[in-house]
Amino acid sequence: MSERKRIYLCLAHMSEAGLEQKYIKEAFDTNWVVPLGPNVNGFEDDLKKFVGGEREVVALCSGTAAVHLGLLACGVGPGDEVMVQSFTFCASSHPITYLGATPVFVDSERDSWNMDPGLLELAIKDRIAKTGRKPKAIVPVALYGMPYQIEKIMAIARKYGIPVVEDAAEGFGSRWNGRVLGTFGEYGVLSFNGNKMITTSGGGALICRDAAAKNKIMWYATQAREAYPYYQHEAIGYNYRLSNVCAGIGRGQMTIIDEHLAHHKHVQALYEELLADVPGVKMHAAPRKEYDANFWLCTFTLDPKVRIKGQENAYATVVKGAVGGAAGVVHASENAHTDCEPNDNVEALRVYMDKAGIEARPLWKPMHRQPVYKKAPAYVNGVSEALFKVGMCLPAGPCVSDDDVRYIVDTIKEAIVG
């Protein structure tokens, strides 16, 4: 394999006109280097227009903060239960525990890989029977940008009177039946981390139903200060507002969001075309026309029967450094194995691609199989765990060219034995 640049899963791409730098410079020139200001207001206005204009948006320091405040505003507190998708990143479930509540994990349906509506209702009925109380909220997740069956989920939510906090952190710009994700439930979560569809370097937002809900979220996000000339606090608040400097990046990014969405969909289509005839490799695609996914990351499954070069040495070495999105931070492990991990051929392919300068990553490990949640209730059907064992994410960001996609596909073919 020849030397070439490293291809990352998804990295931010700045606007051609350098508008990000313009807005950042304005923040410094006007001394608005604080978590409020013209860029924050402008970014929120841009986001409001993008999601349809009927809802309000609050810019926050992270998508995790948005989940936290959405749940808090729904009344989640100590002793409560929250129904949450198991097949997701930990930011969907950790905020539930921040509030002293218990996550109740719900497995996925095979088409979208997202929350199974039928299993959700069974779980709600069972929790009511077991605890005498209904769950306080429902958190579906747009896994890798694929929409969840929100109409069915909302019907169940209305039936039992449970608010929905949509975790569309990976699904910015994804739509269900033409409507932007995050605008169906009580609240909708967005993320602008450095690897998302657009970035503010780190940041997020919460979509709110109306101005009153937005005001409540902003109050919580600014330390819950009461209206006095001195600092008066009658509730616990948080320091969660987005910096005016970071919001400047977001304003520039919003000018190219349509380009980013088109690029991700183009990359997905190219992967589907080039991998169509590779035995044992299956791209995860939109099941039906209702699912208008942004394809934040392009994902595929690898048949367990497919042999990969170096597979006999998979998991032979304990990982010492950061892998994937660990931001250079690791908590060292002594064992190369856990009791739930990707198949040997998936790990072997990840290593092979890494040596070829391609960042690839396993799918999210289901939360109900995470040691930290071993005591949490879970309603499972085996879908997410089965997918975790055979699935992988491929680069899809704005910096990934057609030549890069062809190189990635050639590397996959080269890695397959026989």
Q: What is the pLDDT of residues 94-152, one digit of tens each?
A: 999 999 999 999 999 999 999 999 999 999 999 999 999 999 999 999 999 999 999 99
For domain 258-415, the CATH class is alpha beta
Predicted pLDDT of residue 1: 43
Q: What is the pLDDT of residues 18-35, one digit of tens each?
A: 899 999 999 999 999 999
Residue 47 · residue 173 · CB < 8 Å: no
Q: What is the DSSP letter of 366?
A: P
Predicted pLDDT of residue 334: 74
Q: Kindly state the average pLDDT of the residues 239-246.
A: 97
What angle is formed at CA 197 by the lines to CA 42 and CA 44, rounded to 5 degrees?
15
| N-term to C-term CA, the chain | 18
CA distances from 69 to 2, 7, 334 (A): 48, 35, 36
Four-residue CA torsion sign, 77, 80, 84, 90: positive
CATH number listed for the domain at residues 19-257: 3.40.640.10
For residues 210 and 303, give the distance between their C-alpha atoms in angstroms, rounded to a whole number. 47
Question: Could you tell me which residues come within 8 angstroms of residue 29 by beta carbon, excluding any fewer than 6 positions away?
Answer: none
Q: Which amino acid is at 335?
A: N
For residues 140 and 254, give the distance between their C-alpha atoms in angstroms, rounded to a whole number. 25
Question: Whole-model pTM?
Answer: 0.96
Q: Give the confidence band of 307 by pLDDT, cuts at 50, 70, 90.
A: very high
Residue 281 · residue 324 · CB < 8 Å: no
Tell me which residue of 373, 366, 408 sits closest to 387, measured CA to CA: 366
Domain spans of the chain, in order of start: 19-257, 258-415
Predicted pLDDT of residue 168: 98
Residue 94 · residue 369 · CB < 8 Å: no
Q: What is the pLDDT of residues 151-180, one digit of tens each?
A: 999 999 999 999 999 999 999 999 999 999
Q: Give the confidence band of 318 by pLDDT, cuts at 50, 70, 90.
A: confident
Q: Give the confidence band of 326 by pLDDT, cuts at 50, 70, 90.
A: low
Name the one residue in this structure whose structure tokens are 């062809």: 406
Question: Could you tell me which residues come within 8 angstroms of residue 291 by beta carbon, excluding any fewer than 6 positions away?
Answer: 112, 146, 147, 176
Predicted pLDDT of residue 327: 59
Q: Give the confidence band of 325 by pLDDT, cuts at 50, 70, 90.
A: low
Tell me which residue of 265, 263, 307, 303 sits closest to 286, measured CA to CA: 265
Looking at the chain, the number of H-run helices and the number of E-run strands are 12, 15
Q: What is the pLDDT of residues 366-399, one digit of tens each?
A: 999 999 999 999 999 999 999 999 999 999 999 9
Name the one residue in this structure whose structure tokens are 């908590």: 331
Predicted pLDDT of residue 16: 82
Report the relative pairing of strands 204-208 and 56-60 from DSSP bridges.
antiparallel
Residue 339 · residue 345 · CB < 8 Å: no
Q: Name the percent of the chain lying above pLDDT 90.
A: 92
Four-residue CA torsion sign, 128, 131, 134, 139: negative
Predicted pLDDT of residue 17: 85
Mean of per-residue pLDDT scores for the chain: 95
Q: Name the percent of the chain lying above pLDDT 70.
A: 97
For the chain, give the number of residues: 418
